[in-house]
Amino acid sequence: MKENLGNLTLELLQSINDAVYILDENGNVIQANDTFCRMLGYDLNELLTLNAKDYNASWDSEKILTTIRQLKNRTETFEIIHRRKDGSSFDAEVSAKGITINKQDYLFCITRDISERKKTQTFIKESEKKFRALFENAMDAILLLDIQSFRIFDCNPATEEMFGKSRNQIIHSLIQEFSPELQKNGEKSDELINFFINKALSGEKTKFEWCFAIADKEILAELNLYKVDINGNSILQLICKDITEKRKSEEQLNLLSQSINQSSSAVIITDINGNIEYVNDTFCKLTGYSREEVIGQNPRFLKSGYTFPETYKKLWENIISGKQWNGEFLNKRKDGTLYWESARISPVKNEQGEITHFIGVKDDVTKLKKLLDELRIAKAKAEETNRLKTSFLANMSHELRTPLVGILGCASMIAEDTKEPLTQELANIINKSGQRLHETLNAILDLTRLESETLPVDLKPVNILPLLRNSYELFLNEAKLKGLNLYLDVDEEEILAFADLSLLKSVLAHLISNAVKYTETGGVSIRAFTNENKIIIKVVDTGIGIPDSYQDIIFEPFRQVSEGYNRQFEGSGLGLTLTKKYVKLMNGRIWFNSKVGEGSAFFVELNATANKIDMSTEVTAQKSVIADFKEKKVLLVEDDPINIQTISAFIGNLVQLTTVNNAADAIAMIKERQFDLILMDIGLSGDKNGLDVAREIRSIKNYFSTPIAAVTAYALDSDREKILSSGCTHYLAKPFPRQKLIELLEEIFSE
């Protein structure tokens, strides 16, 4: 068979550059050129002994024989693996053509080593796979745009997620279809995107911010747009990074850092070792150091040396254990001046709860501290002044009251004893003037008490009717003397109010007294009634009235409608001030209506109560029967000769009265004789005051429980408490009318 082909065939084969060989119908190699020999590593003689199955690593002899049979007069190309003589193998592409020579079938084969091409193909496939995977799994949205129409022809799942649409809803659209009409900079979306596309087409890589608007949702993205060439075809690739959240956080961060920077407090942030990482502008202004000077430093350069080391120790203990520390430092500025700062230092923790930084927020409190110091001094001064005022008032009250005992006492005794009309009239004038002085004194004292002490208020459910009657009766005579009618107009059987009886008594006295005082003709009526849950007391007069401009003024201390040298009415101007304060203390209201020349109506509103009457609040009528205590031995300890005379005149004929004018004589007398009552002046001149004597008396045999009545011009509440807790059992404030002293004797001797 080989002979059939002859040497010519070999020469022909040798002239072909590719590796060529011929197989007979059984697959035996019958001719091959050098290229094929070299390809497989055999020489020609060796090769001519081989069958195709010896170097075709892909097929068995069966497949080889069938292929040869099938390829009669036909050409086909296969990719198979060839094995070299040394056993190594390579990819080969075989083009085989069946030929028939002299009725003999042969296979003419051209073999190319395609291992390099194969490698490249595999590589391309692999990289295509890789890139597809990258495309599919990219976090950023990737969109591929057609270079002609600029329409999207592919996008990755990240785009679907970002746009909230499926791939099918996205492709074939233009970018501007997912964008608002105008971008943030005011330019039209379609014009702007075309501008960037043209830039990308010219080979530039463009990066820009883009705002998408998809279903009312705004997405801010950072876009990278560039042209990509694939196998000679160009496409546009658009990578979109969603920066909506990032931008929001950036804006927030910016806001935060701006607010920290512009904060009126100095802010300082250090690392865990206390080295400064950040300070704001206020810190620089406060300390005088620039930012560059302090970054990286430990804040100890601010120390003035005046803060106790213990303070720093406590500060560190606190913040290292994760707690906030608040405190004050006296620090030093760059120029050496000192300043007080109030600091709050707190640890900053990371997500793992570890402390990473410390943040200090500090305020310059130098001025505040100075102000506080001044305030403290001012307060101390004010307290001292107040103390002096109280003591001044107590002394003045004492000094004014003491002579009043003599004036009022003597005047009333003279008026009682004399038959002489002129003397009687003079005594009455003394008595009236004394009373006025007494009232003014009491009003000033009451006002001081309201301002300097907390006046005890005893609010309880009371029937105010007896008190109204009593107040009415008190002024009957005065009204009658002026030719005025005084009415009490009450329909109800009892009027239950939530009130303090003694305060209400003063309120009524002031209002009725004013009404009578400021009325020349006509009359005054007192009316009281219940109105839902309120009690209204109305004092109406037909007097001179109050001008509108004085509506508020008359409630101010010492203010009167008629003021100055020409004033037409006597009075201190304190009555309504006290009245208003008393009403307020009873949680009530006071107001009035008035017309000049026609009269005034004053209203007091109190809270009503449904409770039963407290019987103890019933006001008892003044007793006028003078009891006789002839058997009672009374010792009067008093250093003022006029007061001794007055009191002696008051009760000298009712009891067995002994008088002494100093502490030593008092003690001696008490030790010598047994008294039933001691009337004790408190402000005794000498070493011991009345309270000292009272205390001493208590240690004397048989005097443990003898009544001691303090008869004193110390009339403040605090005085009263002090007196009653120092051994005295009773208290009578000077000046007092004879009747008051007699009532006291009755009270004591009837116990």
505 vs 425: CA distance, rounded Å? 30
Nearer to ligand ADP, 30 or 526 (CB): 526
Count of Cβ atoms closer than 10 Å to residue 417 Cβ: 12
Site for ligand ADP in 580-609 (CB under 6 A): 600
Site for ligand ADP in 478-517 (CB under 6 A): 510, 514-515
Nearer to ligand ADP, 347 or 571 (CB): 571
295 vs 65: CA distance, rounded Å? 88
State the nearest-atom distance from the C-beta of 473 to ligand ADP, in Å: 20
Measured in whole angstroms, the distance separating CA 180 from the mean position of its chain's CA atoms is: 43
Phi then psi for residue 359, to 5 deg, are -120, 130
State the nearest-atom distance from the C-beta of 474 to ligand ADP, in Å: 16
Asked if 672 and 631 count as a contact pair (C-beta separation under 8 A), the reply is no
Which stretch, 230-238, 427-435, 489-497, 553-561, contacts ligand ADP (CB under 6 A)?
Answer: 553-561
Measured in whole angstroms, the distance separating CA 648 from the mean position of its chain's CA atoms is: 69
State the nearest-atom distance from the C-beta of 601 to ligand ADP, in Å: 9
Nearer to ligand ADP, 293 or 439 (CB): 439
User: On the CB side of 195, how many CA atoms lie within 13 Å of its CA?
Assistant: 9
Does 577 participate in binding ligand ADP (rule CB under 6 A)? yes
Tell me the number of residues near ligand ADP by CB under 6 A. 22
Q: Mask 128-167, x = binds ligand ADP (CB under 6 A)?
A: ----------------------------------------
Nearer to ligand ADP, 351 or 552 (CB): 552
Nearer to ligand ADP, 338 or 596 (CB): 596
Which stretch, 24-32, 162-170, 486-494, 542-550, contacts ligand ADP (CB under 6 A)?
Answer: 542-550
Which stretch, 462-470, 482-490, 574-582, 605-613, contacts ligand ADP (CB under 6 A)?
Answer: 574-582
Does 523 participate in binding ligand ADP (rule CB under 6 A)? no
Nearer to ligand ADP, 21 or 518 (CB): 518
Long-range contacts of 566-571 (CB under 8 A, 24+ apart): 569/517, 569/518, 570/436, 571/517
Q: Mask 642-661, x = binds ligand ADP (CB under 6 A)?
A: --------------------
Does 475 participate in binding ligand ADP (rule CB under 6 A)? no
Count of residues in the chain: 751
Nearer to ligand ADP, 474 or 642 (CB): 474
Four-residue CA torsion sign, 491, 493, 497, 502: positive
Does 574 participate in binding ligand ADP (rule CB under 6 A)? yes
Which stretch, 30-38, 49-57, 79-87, 556-564, contacts ligand ADP (CB under 6 A)?
Answer: 556-564
Count of Cβ atoms closer than 10 Å to residue 275 Cβ: 13
| C-alpha pair distances (Å), 457 with each of 36, 62, 534, 574, 604 | 130, 128, 19, 20, 18
Which stretch, 98-106, 282-290, 554-562, 681-689, contacts ligand ADP (CB under 6 A)?
Answer: 554-562
State the nearest-atom distance from the C-beta of 475 to ligand ADP, in Å: 13
Of 98, 434, 466, 543, the one binding ligand ADP (CB under 6 A) is 543
Of 518, 650, 675, 731, the one binding ligand ADP (CB under 6 A) is 518
387 vs 674: CA distance, rounded Å? 41
∠ CA 260-266-270, rounded to 5°: 80
236 vs 57: CA distance, rounded Å? 46
State the nearest-atom distance from the C-beta of 403 to ligand ADP, in Å: 23
Which stretch, 309-317, 390-398, 575-583, 723-731, contacts ligand ADP (CB under 6 A)?
Answer: 575-583
Does 576 participate in binding ligand ADP (rule CB under 6 A)? yes
Nearer to ligand ADP, 268 or 576 (CB): 576
Asked if 745 and 627 count as a contact pair (C-beta separation under 8 A), the reply is yes
668 vs 657: CA distance, rounded Å? 16
Nearest C-alpha neighbor of 702 from the set 741, 664, 730, 676: 676
Dihedral angle computed from the Cα positions of residues 193, 194, 198 and 201, in that order, rounded to the nearest 10 degrees: 70
Does 544 participate in binding ligand ADP (rule CB under 6 A)? yes
Does 541 participate in binding ligand ADP (rule CB under 6 A)? yes
State the nearest-atom distance from the C-beta of 432 to ligand ADP, in Å: 16
Which stretch, 213-221, 226-234, 476-484, 570-578, contacts ligand ADP (CB under 6 A)?
Answer: 570-578
SS3 282: helix
Question: What is the β-pairing status of strands 677-680 and 708-712?
Answer: parallel
Q: Which helix (H) or strand (E) holds 417?
A: helix 366-417
- Helix H, strand E, coil C: the string for 348-396 is EECCCCCEEEEEEEEEECHHHHHHHHHHHHHHHHHHHHHHHHHHHHHHH
Four-residue CA torsion sign, 38, 40, 46, 47: negative
| C-alpha pair distances (Å), 586 with each of 467, 526, 610, 735 | 16, 20, 17, 28
Does 575 participate in binding ligand ADP (rule CB under 6 A)? yes
State the nearest-atom distance from the C-beta of 713 to ligand ADP, in Å: 23
Structure-block tokens of residue 136: 């599919």
Which stretch, 208-216, 366-374, 420-428, 560-568, contacts ligand ADP (CB under 6 A)?
Answer: 560-568
Does 98 participate in binding ligand ADP (rule CB under 6 A)? no
Does 21 participate in binding ligand ADP (rule CB under 6 A)? no
Nearer to ligand ADP, 573 or 727 (CB): 573
Which stretch, 46-54, 118-126, 246-254, 544-552, contacts ligand ADP (CB under 6 A)?
Answer: 544-552
Does 711 participate in binding ligand ADP (rule CB under 6 A)? no
Site for ligand ADP in 406-465 (CB under 6 A): none
Which stretch, 67-75, 113-121, 566-574, 641-649, contacts ligand ADP (CB under 6 A)?
Answer: 566-574
641 vs 660: CA distance, rounded Å? 10
747 vs 745: CA distance, rounded Å? 5
Site for ligand ADP in 178-237 (CB under 6 A): none
Nearer to ligand ADP, 442 or 577 (CB): 577
Does 542 participate in binding ligand ADP (rule CB under 6 A)? no
Of 546, 586, 635, 715, the one binding ligand ADP (CB under 6 A) is 546
Asked if 473 and 511 count as a contact pair (C-beta separation under 8 A), the reply is no
Nearer to ligand ADP, 524 or 678 (CB): 524
285 vs 334: CA distance, rounded Å? 10
∠ CA 511-516-519, rounded to 5°: 120
State the nearest-atom distance from the C-beta of 283 to ligand ADP, in Å: 59
Structure-block tokens of residue 95: 């083009």
693 vs 675: CA distance, rounded Å? 15
Neighbour-count burial of 576, counting CB atoms closer than 10 A to its CB (0-12 exposed, 13-18 middle, 19+ buried): buried
Q: Which residues bind ligand ADP (CB under 6 A)?
A: 510, 514-515, 518, 541, 543-546, 554, 560-562, 569, 571-577, 600
